[in-house]
Structure 1
Amino acid sequence: MIQSFKWIAILEGISFLLILFVTMPLKYIFDMGQPNQIIGMAHGFLFLAYVVMAFLVKSELNWNIKTLLIVLACSVIPFGTFWMERKYLEASKY
């Protein structure tokens, strides 16, 4: 399960950065909304999967509530999921 969460965290981070730095400029500068809709839907699915997996991994890694809140907060900070994956998942034995 931890390996799956690592992949979801990385993909969620990539989708967040794509929205932030690629599709938002396309939408508001070049009036191209379609890429934002497609990547936005994928990002929404990955965000929900990230949150659910965080709760599932919490019990597996015996995280306290503070750690869980940090992991959840990382999903709304640019580059946060990459940092979280390195800090909280890289050292775990799976």
Structure 2
Amino acid sequence: MRFTPSERDIIKNLAESRRLSLRDFIRTVALGRKLLAPVAAAINRRVYQELARIGNNLNQLVRAANSGTVTSCDSNLLQNLLAEVRNLGFQLLRGHA
């Protein structure tokens, strides 16, 4: 099978993002097998882990606010912030940030 240099680069990058050899990637796609999701870059995993810790802390604050333990914060604002942090984390994992 022959590819142009640019096609080969694209296919090679797709294969590497899934930690597959070029041969295994082409075989998997050609046979219609399910591909694993691309592996997140190490920096994205670290950022995601930090965001997860922040999100966990925000979740605890929101629960405390909803239970009445904390009364001096806007729980809707915290819930929106938590959703944004989670969304950013998922974007980082997918490489869209």
The answer to whether the superposition gives a TM-score over 0.5 is: no
Instruction: State the TM-score bracket (shorter-chain normalisation).
Output: 0.3 to 0.5
What TM-score does the superposition give when structure 2 sets the normalisation length?
0.40
Q: TM-score when scaled to structure 1?
A: 0.40
**RCO higher in 1 or 2 (8 Å CA, sep ≥ 6)?**
1
Higher helix share: 1
